[in-house]
Structures are given as C-alpha cells and as structure tokens.
Amino acid sequence: MVSVLIVYYTKSGNTKEMANMIAAYIRNENVDVEVRDVFDTTPEYLLEYDGIILGSPTYYGDMAAEMKELIDKSVKYHGELSGKLGGAFTSSAYIGGGNETTLLSILKAMLIHGMVVVGVHNADHYGPVAIGSPDERAEKQCRVYAKKFADTLKSLKGFDIVD
C-alpha cells in the first residue's frame, strides 16, 4: 500500500480542517494517510512516506514560518526526498490574498528537494485553497485534489488505478 503524510500548521483551525478533509478523501482511495501537526513533526517523518502534502495558512502571501522551519530543517535529508510525490494546500482570508503564491512557495521547496509535484487542470491548479474555513467549494477542491494525488501516487509506484 502507498502512504501519504499530511502536515499542517494552523492558528485558528482552518488549515487543519482542510488537512482532515484531504486525508479522508485520500483514504477513500485505499491509501494509508497520517495527519500531523507541524509541531509534532520532525524532518525524519518526511522520509517514511511515498507522498507528502504540506498545508499552511497564507501569511503575507507565503507559508507560515512554522512550516518553513520544518522545510529548512529537512535540509538534513537533502536528496533523500527526491522522487517522492508532493502537494500543498492553504487557507487565506481573501480570494486574491496571496494563496497561490503560498502554494508555490511550498511546491518550490519540494521541487528543490527533487520531489514530483501535483497540479490540477480542472480545479484549483496549484492545490486546494479555502477562504477562511473550508466551505462547499473548498471541500470539492480537497476531494478532486485527493483523488488526483492518490491516482498519481499509485501510478508513480506502479499500482493499478481502479476507477
């Protein structure tokens, strides 16, 4: 079975809600998923999973410092995350509030690790975005993203995709 780690940072709960939604939808695809608060996550955890999804609130158009700290600590394993599948999600206050630049900041770090990142052609392109607490639209984004992430991971690992 393929495995996914979802790490989130949250202050008021919105990003955690998204993490749990994405996790539930990925589990529906028969993928092993663990959800962790960034404060309970050391870089060693990143080594243990086939896929890694990081979620952060949008802070000034970027990921929160708490998530960046985990990424910076992961330099200890630079090269060892290469080939893993990566993804990102965020909650921001405003529609044009810098959520896409936040996602790109996370995906950029993943690319530097040599990871493969997931984009979506028919939904939020860089990863799910919620405005505040995830509403019906955001939940749909999480669902579409989870399926795309699970399918991509299975094909990367050579598993059959059953629709």
Ligand X SMILES: Cc1cc2nc3c(=O)[nH]c(=O)nc-3n(C[C@H](O)[C@H](O)[C@H](O)COP(=O)(O)O)c2cc1C
Q: Using CB under 6 A as the criterion, which residues of the chain lie in contact with ligand X when the complex forms?
A: 10-15, 57-61, 91-94, 97-98, 132
Residue 58, classified by CB atoms within 10 Å of its CB into exposed (0-12), middle (13-18) or buried (19+), is buried
The span from the CA of 61 to the CA of 121, in Å, is 22
Closest separation in Å from C-beta 84 to ligand X: 24
Using Cβ positions, the residue closest to ligand X within the complex turns out to be 97
Please identify, using beta-carbon distances, which residue of 41 and 152 lies nearer to ligand X. 41
Question: What's the closest the beta carbon of residue 108 comes to ligand X, in angstroms?
Answer: 17
The secondary element (H helix, E strand) that includes residue 36 is strand 32-37
Question: What is the spatial distance between Cα 37 and Cα 147, in angstroms, rounded to a whole number?
Answer: 22
Instruction: Tell me the two tokens of residue 127.
Output: 């990863």
Query: Which of 19, 26 has the CB closer to ligand X?
Result: 19
CB of 133 to ligand X, least distance (A): 7
Q: Is 62 exposed, middle or buried (0-12, 13-18, 19+ CB in 10 A)?
A: middle
CB of 147 to ligand X, least distance (A): 23
Q: How far is the CB of 157 from ligand X (least distance, A)?
A: 30
67 contacts 56 by C-beta, under 8 angstroms: yes
> Looking at beta carbons only, is 12 or 82 nearer to ligand X?
12
* C-beta of 43 vs 98, nearer to ligand X: 98
CA distance 148 to 61: 25
Specify the residue, 11 or 76, whose C-beta has the smaller distance to ligand X. 11
Q: How far apart are CA 122 and CA 18, in angstroms?
A: 19
